[in-house]
Every structure is written in C-alpha cells, then in structure tokens.
C-alpha cells in the first residue's frame, strides 16, 4: 500500500486536509514544511540566508525521506516540491492527490503570506499577484503528477477528505 501524497498550490489546504484524511484512515500524517522547519528553522530565514535553490535541494531530500515511511502515511508536500524532477519521479510510485483551489480561496488562506517568502520576497505587490503567476507556471506539473484532482468546489475539509478516500478505494 502506498502513501497518499497531497500536492497543490500554496493555500490549497494540503496540511489541513492531510490531517483530516490521516485521522479518518488511522494513518500517520507528515508534512514536509513542518519537517523542514523542525530541522532547519523558519522557512523565511532559510530563504534569506541560503536562497531558493538550497531550499529546493533540502526540500527534495526531505520529501524522499518522508515518502520512504515505515508505514503507509498521508504526506503533505510544500507547494513547490513538484518543481524537482527527482521528486516528480518518486511520485510515480505513490497515490498522488492534487488539491485545486480558486484564486479567492487562496487569497483568503494566504493572508499576508508572512511565512511564505515565495510570495513576499523582493516585492511590495499583494501576495495574491505572485501566487497567480506561480500557480500558472506550476499547474501543468501538478496535473502531470496527480492520480486524482480534487476540485476547488469541494470547499470543506471533511468533504475533500471523503472524496479522496472514496477515489482511493475505487482505485485499488
Ligand atoms: C512554497 C510553498 C510553501 C513552502 C515554501 C515554498 C512554494 O508550502 O514550502 O514557503 O514554493 O510554493 P505551502 O504550499 O504549504 O504553503
């Protein structure tokens, strides 16, 4: 049985849906961003000291480690994980779910984006403007990796978790 891996843009609810899904399935939940912070400290500090390239390399190492879990788990990935070709190759062996989100939903969730340097570094523009550009760049990668795409219309966390469980059971 493989892991269930949640991917999607910043503000799509990967961490909250992942936690709900794990609870319903009785599986462990791990989140690459949380693991990153536990190991390296706050993401904005890491970005400003080492830059995005170093962040991506460390993120890809963490994703590989967490996907190699001793028990099938629910794994929530950071929004930019799919830019790594090595990560995309690993995802081929997992059950991968893309959480889609509308611009309005993302805007409400990211707020001032204080913990998300990709949306704030070097710009005074509203974070949602950067978000839109980044999402347009990455959307093909999310779609390429996904076995299931959960539509943005499934607004509640529990609806999204339920849709994933039903799709996973059909897929078996
Ligand atoms: C990033 C997304 C963030 C975090 C980092 C970079 C990105 O995770 O990994 O700030 O490049 O999209 P979330 O998707 O959980 O916000």
Question: What proportion of the chain, given as a percentage, has pLDDT over 90?
Answer: 80
- Ligand 1 atom nearest to 32, measured from its CA: 9
Compute, in angstroms, the gap from residue 112 CA to the centroid of ligand 1: 14
43 lines ligand 1 (CB under 6 A): yes
Query: In angstroms, rounded to a whole number, what is the distance separating the alpha carbons of residues 149 and 71?
Result: 24
Beta-carbon-side half-sphere exposure of residue 74 (alpha carbons within 13 Å): 22
More confident residue, 172 or 81: 81
Question: Is 99:13 a contact under the CB 8 Å cutoff?
Answer: yes
Q: What is the mean pLDDT of residues 13-41?
A: 96
Q: Give, rounded to a whole angstrom, the gap between the first and last alpha carbons of the chain.
A: 9
Q: pLDDT tier at 172 (50, 70, 90 boundaries)?
A: low
Query: Which of residues 151 and 146 earns the better pLDDT score?
Result: 146
Q: Whose CA is nearest to atom 7 of ligand 1?
A: 80
List Cα–Cα distances, 131 to 20, 87, 136, 165, 167, in angstroms.
25, 22, 9, 29, 28
Distance 115 CA to ligand 1 centre (A): 9
Does the pLDDT of residue 93 top 90, yes or no? yes
Give the model confidence (pLDDT) of 123-144 as tens digits.
888 899 999 999 999 999 999 9
Rounded to 5 degrees, φ, ψ at 154 are -80, 90
Give yes or no for residue 94 having a pLDDT over 90.
yes
Check residue 145 and give its pLDDT: 98
Residue 13 CB less than 6 A away from ligand 1: no
What's the 170 CA to ligand 1 centre distance in angstroms?
A: 30
The CB of 161 under 6 Å from ligand 1? The reply is no
CA of 81 from ligand 1 middle (Å) equals: 8
Provide mean pLDDT across the span 86-115.
93
Quote the CA–CA distance of 84 and 171 in Å, as a whole number.
26
Q: In this predicted structure, what is the pLDDT of residue 97?
A: 97
| Statement: residue 1 has pLDDT above 80 | no
Mean pLDDT (the chain, rounded): 93
- The position carrying tokens 């959307």 is 139
Distance in Å, CA 172 to ligand 1 centroid: 30
Q: Which two tokens stand for residue 92?
A: 């081929």
Length of the chain: 172
């Amino acid at each position: 049985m493989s892991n269930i891996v949640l991917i999607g843009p910043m503000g799509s609810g990967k961490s909250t849906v992942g936690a709900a899904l794990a609870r319903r399935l009785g599986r462990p939940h791990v989140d690459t961003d949380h693991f990153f912070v536990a190991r390296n400290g706050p993401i904005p500090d890491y970005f400003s000291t080492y830059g995005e390239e170093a962040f991506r390399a460390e993120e890809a190492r963490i994703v590989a480690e967490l996907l190699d879990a001793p028990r099938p788990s629910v794994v929530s990935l950071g929004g930019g994980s799919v830019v790594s070709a090595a990560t995309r190759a690993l995802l081929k062996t997992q059950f991968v779910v893309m959480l889609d989100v509308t611009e309005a939903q993302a805007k409400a969730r990211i707020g001032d984006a204080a913990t998300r340097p990709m949306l704030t570094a070097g710009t005074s523009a509203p974070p949602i403007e950067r978000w839109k550009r980044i999402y347009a760049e990455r959307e093909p990668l999310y779609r390429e990796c996904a076995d299931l795409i959960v539509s943005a219309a499934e607004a509640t966390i529990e609806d999204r978790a339920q849709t994933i469980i039903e799709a996973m059971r059909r897929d078996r």
